[in-house]
């Protein structure tokens, strides 16, 4: 029997896209497509065990060794700084982390900038690099509401199409960094399953190169 | 009786005994220290610590003290300068720190060895070998990754980068993050040769016999040749004493270069998600602390052994002996001795404690013990 590899995938559309890449790379698990309430899907023949987890939890599963590898957004990796290997940029789930504010907002630099965000560490690092004094307001959702109600001057958040911002009369002020999904690996697991993980990396890299 | 005592020990306690015996066999002396240290020592060397959270308190004389978050700094601070001398010590101490990703302080049992003084190549080999043998005492399935801060520094020095870009690239090497390293190289205008050397450090890992020839071929001879020679000599010296396939070269092991200057290493055990052993050559730390000598050592974080999935104990004791108010102590004591004569663990109680699990339930009746229940 093949050495089993535990793979954490992010729930949702991104996860489905990523699973298709794993399947194409030669690591299929047909049961994952069945419509049921199972949490873990196994293909013993190929030696893979997939499980869906909340996207922001993938890095924790991998860092703590419950998963050998997983797929997490670069935003999560920068925000939580898990101690994992970042083996590949999958070039899917592409978006950007941006600063946005009410249309027409201008930061004159005369007072502390109030920044609402889910990504406190990224926001702090962004403004620290330019020596700007900020007051971080950590929120867990509906970030766009903060500048509209005067809770904050700006927000730091993920922007995909920009439609939500536009509909709420907000606009991107600047891009903080580009985001995409990354293949990550547990550092210890990698030592003992490196050949299998490298096989997956090669299979996925061929697809990302085609895309590029 | 001896066997019974050993089976009662936790994995970390058994490991401590084995590691102490191993280090003593190589002439390392036990080093016992106080649980407290002046806070000032850690303030001056904060980035040497795994976590910058420290438990502090004010001593009776008004001095700000700390519960030790680290042992090496105290050993280095207290090391004596002696011409050509070597101090070889080992310790097992509890340290107090917030573990990575954790949110609260923990007491962590740590066993380690330090060799301080005029460090020559034999000292490096010996400490590396002891690190490998320490791993072997913990598990058959281990990997000891070996890296070299001098070699990493030599390659990065050759790229002519700003400190910020250098730190970014060092992070990429540590994360095996080739795609971001390439982006940084393009952004910073690194030469194709420099980028190739960097890629080699990220992508070459595994058994020395496979990795060393690649490094010889791909790294600049002028800056890396002598360091590769040293690495090769050390590996050749220790390899015969380490089980095949357990010692790897892997440059993703990176320690702070303000403290570590030469060999650095990290040990992993299958089933434990993070490195359980960490060590290296810290001459730079010695210099920062005003010492003329060099130093090399390692620490094993025994709390991580809990991660190994040993089955949870099914029973609290093999047997419970129930006795009543009317039974005198001598009779109960004699019955316990009788039941435990064949090595069983026996717990005497007046009534069975709720939640307490035993394989056999006995009752003392007069001079006799009667079996009430037994699990199949």
B272–A187 CB contact, under 8 Å: no
Give the ipTM. Answer: 0.90
pLDDT of residue B1: 45
Whether the Cβ atoms of residue A201 and residue A87 lie closer than 8 Å to each other: yes
pLDDT of residue A9: 96
Question: CB of A85 within 8 Å of any CB in chain B?
Answer: yes
pLDDT for A138 beyond 90: yes
Mean pLDDT across chain B, nearest whole number? Answer: 90
Question: CB of B270 within 8 Å of any CB in chain A?
Answer: yes
Region B46-59: what's the mean pLDDT? 82
pLDDT for B313 beyond 80: no
Region B306-318: what's the mean pLDDT? 79
Do β-strands B358-365 and B368-374 pair in parallel, antiparallel, or remain unpaired? antiparallel
Nearest CA in chain B to A69: B273
Q: Residue B5 — pLDDT band, cuts 50, 70, 90?
A: low
Convert chain A into a string of H (helix), E (strand) and C (coil): CCCCEEEEEECCHHHHHHHHHHHHCCCCCHHHHCCCCCCEEEECCCCEEEEEECHHHHHHHHHCCCCCEEEEEHHHHHHHCCCEEEEEECCCCCEEEEEEEECCCCCCCCCCEEEEECCHHHHHHHHHCCCCCEEEEECCCCCCHHHHCCCCCEEEEEECCCHHHHHCCEEEEEEEEEECEEEEEEHHHHHHCHHHHHHHHHHHHHHHHHHC
- Taking CA atoms, B40 is separated from A169, B37, B75, B77, in Å, by 53, 8, 15, 12
Rounded Cα gap, residues A7 and A26, in angstroms: 14
Question: CB of A82 within 8 Å of any CB in chain B?
Answer: yes
Lowest mean pLDDT among A3-7, B43-47, B222-226: B43-47
Phi-psi category of residue B168: left, alpha or beta, with phi > 0 → left and psi -120 to 50 → alpha:
alpha
Region B133-154: what's the mean pLDDT? 96
Question: CB of A3 within 8 Å of any CB in chain B?
Answer: no
The partner residues of B116 in beta bridges, in order of sequence, read B87, B295
Torsion B334-B339-B344-B347 (CA) sign:
negative
- Among A60, A82, A86, beta carbon nearest to B177: A86
B145-195 pLDDT, tens digit per residue, is 999 999 999 999 999 899 999 999 999 999 999 999 999 999 999 999 999
**Helices marked H in B139-191 — which ranges?**
149-157, 163-175, 178-188
Higher model confidence: residue B13 or residue A180? Answer: A180
B275–A82 CB contact, under 8 Å: no
- Taking CA atoms, B140 is separated from A171, A187, B214, B269, in Å, by 58, 18, 28, 8
Nearest CA-CA distance, residue B114 and chain A, Å: 25
User: What percent of chain B is predicted at pLDDT more than 90?
Assistant: 65
Nearest CA in chain B to A80: B101
- Among A83, A89, A194, beta carbon nearest to B100: A83
Question: CB of B145 within 8 Å of any CB in chain A?
Answer: yes
Q: Residue B37 — pLDDT band, cuts 50, 70, 90?
A: confident
Whether the Cβ atoms of residue B202 and residue B155 lie closer than 8 Å to each other: no
Mutate to test the interface with B, among A64, A86, A121 (most CBs of B within 10 A): A86
A86–B176 CB contact, under 8 Å: yes
- Taking CA atoms, B153 is separated from A99, B139, B224, B255, in Å, by 36, 33, 10, 12
**Helix, strand or coil for residue B350?**
coil
Rounded Cα gap, residues B309 and B305, in angstroms: 9
pLDDT of residue B307: 77
Extract long-range pairs of A190-196: CB within 8 Å, 24+ residues apart: A190/A68, A190/A85, A191/B143, A191/B145, A191/B248, A191/B268, A191/B270, A192/B141, A192/B143, A192/B268, A192/B270, A193/A3, A193/A5, A193/A68, A194/B205, A194/B206, A196/A2, A196/A3, A196/A5, A196/A47
Question: CB of A194 within 8 Å of any CB in chain B?
Answer: yes
| C-alpha closest to that of A187 among B183, B174, B90, B302 | B174
Structure tokens at A193: 């399953």
Question: CB of B183 within 8 Å of any CB in chain A?
Answer: no
pTM of the model: 0.88
pLDDT of residue B52: 74
Nearest CA in chain B to A208: B179
User: What percent of chain B is predicted at pLDDT more than 70?
Assistant: 95
Region A98-109: what's the mean pLDDT? 92
Nearest CA in chain B to A87: B177
Nearest CA-CA distance, residue A147 and chain B, Å: 31
Mutate to test the interface with A, among B175, B206, B306 (most CBs of A within 10 A): B175
pLDDT of residue B104: 86
B317-326 pLDDT, tens digit per residue, is 999 999 999 9
Whether the Cβ atoms of residue A180 and residue A92 lie closer than 8 Å to each other: yes
Higher model confidence: residue B155 or residue B10? Answer: B155
Q: Residue B2 — pLDDT band, cuts 50, 70, 90?
A: very low
- Among B101, B205, B275, beta carbon nearest to A188: B275
Q: Residue B305 — pLDDT band, cuts 50, 70, 90?
A: confident
B71-97 pLDDT, tens digit per residue, is 888 888 888 776 668 999 999 998 888
Whether the Cβ atoms of residue A126 and residue A155 lie closer than 8 Å to each other: no
- Taking CA atoms, B194 is separated from A1, A82, B158, B181, in Å, by 43, 28, 7, 11
CB pairs below 8 Å between A and B: how many?
54
- Among B179, B248, B271, beta carbon nearest to A88: B179
pLDDT for A191 beyond 70: yes
Rounded Cα gap, residues A91 and A71, in angstroms: 11
Nearest CA-CA distance, residue A34 and chain B, Å: 31
| C-alpha closest to that of B76 among B115, B25, B109 | B115
Whether the Cβ atoms of residue A123 and residue A146 lie closer than 8 Å to each other: no
Question: CB of A70 within 8 Å of any CB in chain B?
Answer: no
* CB neighbour class for A87 (10 Å; exposed up to 12, middle 13-18, buried from 19): buried
Residue B179: half-sphere exposure toward Cβ, Cα within 13 Å: 18
Rounded Cα gap, residues B195 and B181, in angstroms: 8
**Helices marked H in B253-356 — which ranges?**
283-288, 329-340
């Amino acid at each position: 029997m093949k050495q089993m590899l535990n793979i954490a995938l992010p729930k949702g559309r991104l996860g489905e896209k990523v699973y298709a890449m794993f399947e194409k790379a030669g690591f299929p698990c047909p049961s994952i497509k069945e419509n049921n309430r199972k949490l873990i899907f196994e293909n013993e023949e190929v030696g893979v065990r997939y499980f869906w987890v909340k996207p922001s939890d993938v890095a924790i599963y991998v860092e703590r060794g419950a998963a050998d590898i997983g797929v997490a957004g670069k935003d999560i990796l920068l925000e939580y700084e898990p101690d994992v290997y970042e083996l590949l940029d999958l070039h899917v789930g592409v978006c950007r982390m941006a600063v946005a504010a009410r249309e027409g907002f201008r930061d004159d630099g005369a007072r502390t900038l109030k920044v609402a965000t889910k990504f406190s560490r990224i926001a702090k690092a962004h403004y620290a690099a330019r020596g700007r004094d900020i007051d971080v307001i950590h929120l867990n959702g509906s970030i766009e509401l903060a500048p509209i109600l005067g809770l904050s001057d700006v927000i730091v958040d993920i922007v995909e199409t920009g439609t939500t911002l536009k509909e709420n009369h907000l606009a991107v002020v600047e891009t903080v960094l580009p985001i995409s999904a990354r293949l990550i690996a547990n550092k210890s697991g990698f030592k003992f399953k490196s050949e299998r993980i490298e096989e997956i990396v090669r299979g996925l890299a061929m697809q990302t190169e085609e895309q590029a | 009786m001896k066997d019974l005592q050993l089976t009662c020990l936790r994995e970390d306690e058994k490991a401590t005994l084995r590691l102490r015996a191993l280090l003593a066999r190589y002439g390392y002396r036990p080093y016992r220290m106080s649980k407290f240290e002046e806070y000032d020592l850690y303030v001056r060397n904060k980035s040497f610590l795994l976590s910058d959270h420290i438990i502090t308190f004010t001593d009776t004389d008004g001095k700000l003290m700390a519960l030790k978050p680290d042992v090496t700094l105290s050993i280095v601070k207290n090391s004596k300068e002696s011409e050509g001398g070597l101090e070889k010590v080992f310790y097992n101490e509890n340290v107090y720190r917030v573990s990575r990703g954790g949110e609260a302080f923990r007491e962590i049992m740590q066993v380690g060895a330090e060799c301080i003084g005029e460090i020559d190549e034999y000292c490096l080999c010996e400490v590396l070998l002891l690190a490998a043998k320490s791993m072997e005492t913990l598990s058959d399935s281990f990997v000891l990754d070996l890296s070299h801060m001098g070699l990493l520094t030599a390659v990065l020095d050759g790229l002519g980068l700003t400190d910020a870009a250098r730190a970014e690239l060092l992070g990429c090497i540590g994360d095996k993050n080739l795609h971001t390293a390439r982006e940084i190289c393009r952004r910073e205008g690194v030469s194709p040769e420099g980028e190739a050397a960097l890629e080699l450090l990220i992508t070459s890992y595994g058994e020395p016999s496979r990795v060393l020839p690649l490094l010889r071929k791909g790294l600049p001879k002028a800056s890396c040749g002598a360091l590769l020679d040293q690495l090769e000599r050390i590996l050749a010296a220790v390899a015969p004493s380490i089980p095949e396939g357990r010692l790897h070269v892997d440059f993703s092991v990176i320690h702070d270069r303000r403290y570590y200057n030469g060999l650095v290493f990290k040990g992993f055990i299958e089933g434990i998600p993070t490195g359980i052993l960490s060590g290296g050559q810290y001459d730079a730390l010695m210099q920062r602390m005003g010492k003329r000598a060099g130093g090399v050592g390692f620490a094993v974080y025994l709390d991580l052994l809990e991660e190994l999935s040993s089955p949870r104990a099914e029973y609290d004791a093999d047997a419970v002996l129930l006795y009543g108010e009317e039974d005198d102590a001598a009779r109960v004591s004699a019955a316990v001795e009788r039941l435990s004569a064949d090595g069983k663990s026996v717990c005497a109680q007046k009534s069975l404690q709720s939640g307490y699990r035993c394989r056999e339930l006995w009752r003392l009746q007069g001079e006799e013990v009667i079996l009430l229940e037994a699990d199949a």
